[in-house]
């Protein structure tokens, strides 16, 4: 109830980026709070989804829960105390990895964090592209890992920049996304990857590869775990290829770190979710995930081509089926201002300030995600807004 000095009726408006919240206050009654979704076009969060996935995941998760045996108390205990070899074998077959070196995580972010912890990298310098994924920036900050910004080109980090950093800064590891980089969208060829491996071996540094978007470039060169299994951590989540709701990911790690990986998983999450793992792996085992990824490739290629047609030369080169684009800004327009102008016109995008290594100049660019909206027409309306801002 409200005091008598409350007006007979008052409406308070509070707005965030995607909703308008109305709280109606009336004397002698409890407050009535209503929320309305407004018309902002979402091009910040990039989780490509297809309309059929909701029902499919509901059924797979229900089947996984129904398959639990009530009398088997082990199924209620932490998964790190059990060896679900069937799960690891399904994952390893799909990843073309050794089951002994394949670990199940709670997603891609968790796989990266586990890699950093298991490798003992807390507090040690990690080299990344000068424009890199926000997730590694945040995890490095939490673990007090200095990030060293490397030069990059159309294939990602350059070997010359990596060698120079190793000589002058004592790099302990690199973090990179060689296949459909986030946010740059670029793909490293085989020769580039081999050059990075050669530098890593010369200076005895570790490699953490985040392959969240790898399915968007099927013809990409082998991953670093295949090229340098003695020093490469390969992280593969399902948030992009399927959906974040799976809470399942995979990590292929050098065998010498196996016990440390198990310990990091145990101490960071008390293991993974058995029903979620079973549901996700059922999609892999029967080929459903591969079929869905092919559909996403087709849809992604259509959205990508349509967006590039609107943005022209401002869209940087990248994978043709990628669900995000890196957009370069014209002279005189900085990233925070570009993001704000897009937002004022109704489109949410991500300026380079969120992807720039701390302590370095903010790049003149922004990421346009094409998977935030289920409706491709709505996505293109957002891209048109970006094009208008670039031309204004």
* pLDDT tens by residue, 219-232: 999 999 999 999 99
- Return the pLDDT at 30: 58
CB-CB neighbours of 348 under 10 Å = 19
Laid out side by side, the sheet with 9-15 consists of: 9-15, 19-26, 32-37
Q: Which residue has the higher pLDDT, 276 or 30?
A: 276
**Average pLDDT of every residue of the chain:** 91
Residue 38 has a pLDDT of: 58
Q: Please check whether the domain covering 53-288 is classified as CATH 3.60.10.10.
A: no
- For domain 41-50+290-391, give the fold: 3.90.1150
Q: Which residue has the higher pLDDT, 244 or 24?
A: 244
Distance, C-alpha 231 to centroid of its chain: 22
- Other C-beta atoms closer than 10 Å to the C-beta of 273 total 18
CA of 30: how far to CAs of 1, 8, 9, 15, 22, in Å? Answer: 6, 13, 12, 21, 14
| In the predicted structure, residue 121 carries a pLDDT above the cut 90 | yes
Q: Identify the band that residue 4 occupies on the pLDDT scale cut at 50, 70 and 90.
A: very low
Q: Cα(286)–Cα(10) distance, rounded to whole angstroms?
A: 57
For residue 154, give both structure tokens: 């159309």
Q: Under DSSP, is residue 368 helix (H, G, I), strand (E, B) or coil? A: strand
Q: pLDDT tens-digit profile of 71-107?
A: 988 888 877 666 678 999 999 999 999 999 999 999 9
Residue 273, both tokens: 């979710």
Per-residue pLDDT at 253? 98
Q: What percent of the chain is predicted at pLDDT more than 90?
A: 84
The answer to whether the peptide bond before residue 183 is cis (omega within 30 degrees of 0) is yes
- Ranges of CATH 3.40.640.10 domains, the chain: 53-288
pTM: predicted TM-score of the whole model, two decimal places: 0.89
Q: CA-CA distance, 273 to 105, in Å (whole number)?
A: 9
CATH 3.90.1150.10 domain position(s) in the chain? 41-50+290-391
In the block, which residue shows the tokens 């029903």?
275
Residue 329 has what DSSP assignment?
Answer: P
CB 305 within 8 A of CB 320: yes
102 torsion bin: left (phi>0), alpha (psi -120 to 50), beta (else): beta
| Residue-wise pLDDT tens digits, 126-162 | 999 999 999 999 999 999 999 999 999 999 999 999 9
Residue 127's H or E segment, with its range, is: strand 126-129
CA dist., res. 21 & res. 323, Å (int): 31
pLDDT tier at 10 (50, 70, 90 boundaries)?
A: very low
| 370/18: higher pLDDT | 370
Nearest CA to 293 out of 64, 93, 94 is that of: 94
Give the CA angle between residues 258, 134, 277 to the nearest 5°: 45
Q: Average pLDDT of 259-273?
A: 95
* Residues 86, 91, 95, 99, CA torsion sign: negative
pLDDT over 70 for what percent of the chain? 89
Cα distances (angstroms) measured from residue 46 to each of 97, 104, 170, 261, 333: 27, 23, 34, 28, 24
List the single range of 7-21, 295-309, 327-341 with lowest mean pLDDT: 7-21
Q: What average pLDDT does this structure show over 302-327?
A: 97
The answer to whether 234 and 225 have CB atoms below 8 angstroms apart is: yes
Q: What is the pLDDT of residue 206?
A: 98
């Amino acid at each position: 109830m409200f005091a008598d000095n409350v007006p007979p009726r008052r409406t308070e408006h509070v707005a965030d980026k995607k909703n308008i919240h109305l709280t109606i206050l009336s004397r002698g009654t409890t407050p009535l709070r209503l929320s309305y979704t407004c018309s902002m076009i979402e091009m910040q969060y990039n989780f490509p989804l297809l309309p059929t996935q909701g029902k499919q995941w509901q059924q797979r998760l229900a089947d996984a829960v129904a398959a639990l045996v009530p009398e088997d108390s082990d199924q209620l205990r932490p998964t790190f105390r059990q060896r679900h070899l069937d799960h690891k074998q399904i994952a390893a077959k799909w990843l073309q990895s050794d089951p002994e070196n394949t670990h199940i995580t709670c997603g891609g972010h968790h796989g990266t964090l586990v890699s950093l912890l298991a490798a003992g990298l807390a507090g040690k310098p990690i080299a990344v592209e000068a424009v890199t994924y926000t997730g590694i920036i945040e995890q490095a900050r939490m673990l007090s890992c200095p990030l060293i910004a490397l030069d990059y080109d159309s294939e990602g980090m350059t070997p010359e920049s990596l060698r120079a950093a190793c000589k002058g800064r004592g790099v302990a590891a690199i973090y990179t996304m060689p296949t459909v980089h986030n946010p740059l969208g670029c793909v490293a060829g085989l020769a580039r990857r081999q050059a990075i491996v050669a530098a890593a071996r010369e200076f005895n540094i570790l490699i953490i590869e985040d392959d969240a978007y790898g399915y968007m470039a099927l013809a990409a060169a082998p991953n670093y775990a295949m090229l340098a299994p003695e020093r490469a951590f390969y992280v593969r989540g399902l948030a992009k290829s399927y959906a974040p709701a799976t809470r399942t990911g995979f990590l292929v790690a050098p065998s010498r770190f196996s016990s440390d990986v198990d310990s990091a998983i145990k101490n960071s999450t008390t293991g993974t979710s058995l029903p979620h793992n079973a549901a996700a792996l059922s999609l892999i085992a029967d080929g459903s995930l591969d079929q869905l990824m092919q559909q996403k490739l087709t849809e992604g290629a259509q959205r990508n081509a349509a967006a590039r047609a609107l943005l022209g030369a401002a869209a940087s080169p990248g994978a043709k089926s990628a669900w995000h684009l890196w957009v370069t800004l014209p002279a005189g327009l900085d990233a925070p201002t570009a993001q704000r102008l897009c937002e004022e016109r109704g489109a949410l995008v991500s300026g380079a300030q969120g992807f720039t290594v701390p302590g370095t100049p903010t790049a003149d660019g922004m990421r346009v995600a094409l998977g935030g909206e289920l409706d491709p027409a709505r996505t293109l309306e957002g891209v048109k807004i970006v094009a208008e801002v670039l031309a204004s």
